[in-house]
């Protein structure tokens, strides 16, 4: 079964950094625009960042702009999200998914299990 597997989350103090990874077992990763999403407790899932299949175009939500960098390695079928200057409000479960485009982050596939990011103040 084709899966998206997120990893790299953890507990970090405010101001710290984390690098999230998303491994895709499918065949279409290298030609798919991809995105990162997050869901905080009691809130709806929201889009965080997107990247085109070539990596040439990126998109960031205002809430993470300047603190996050999305990247990908098509040879490894892996998506990354580098998060710096983390804030308590970044606490959430982070998910990746294929998307309709790097700027229109409509998810296309089933969700993985996500990776928990907890930022302490």
Largest CA distance in the chain: 41
Q: Compute the distance between CA of residue 105 and CA of residue 58 in angstroms, rounded to an integer.
A: 11
Contacts of 45 (CB under 8 A, 6+ apart): 37, 38, 39, 95
Looking from the CA of 11 toward its CB, the CA atoms found within 13 Å total 2
pLDDT in tens, 31-88: 999 999 999 999 999 999 999 999 999 999 999 999 999 999 999 999 999 999 999 9
Q: Is the pLDDT of residue 6 over 90?
A: yes
Asked whether the predicted pLDDT for residue 2 surpasses 90, the reply is no
* pLDDT band of 18, cuts 50, 70, 90: very high
């Amino acid at each position: 079964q084709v899966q998206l597997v997120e990893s790299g989350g953890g507990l970090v103090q405010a101001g710290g950094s984390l690098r999230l990874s998303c491994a895709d077992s499918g065949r279409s990763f290298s030609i798919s625009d991809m995105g990162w999403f997050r869901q905080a407790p009691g809130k709806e899932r929201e889009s965080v960042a997107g990247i085109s299949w070539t990596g040439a175009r990126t998109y960031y939500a205002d809430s993470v702009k300047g603190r996050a960098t999305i990247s990908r390695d098509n040879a490894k079928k892996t998506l990354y999200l580098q998060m710096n200057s983390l804030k308590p409000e970044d606490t959430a479960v982070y998910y990746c998914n294929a998307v309709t485009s790097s700027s229109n982050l409509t998810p296309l596939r089933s969700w993985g299990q996500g990776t928990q990011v907890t930022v302490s103040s």
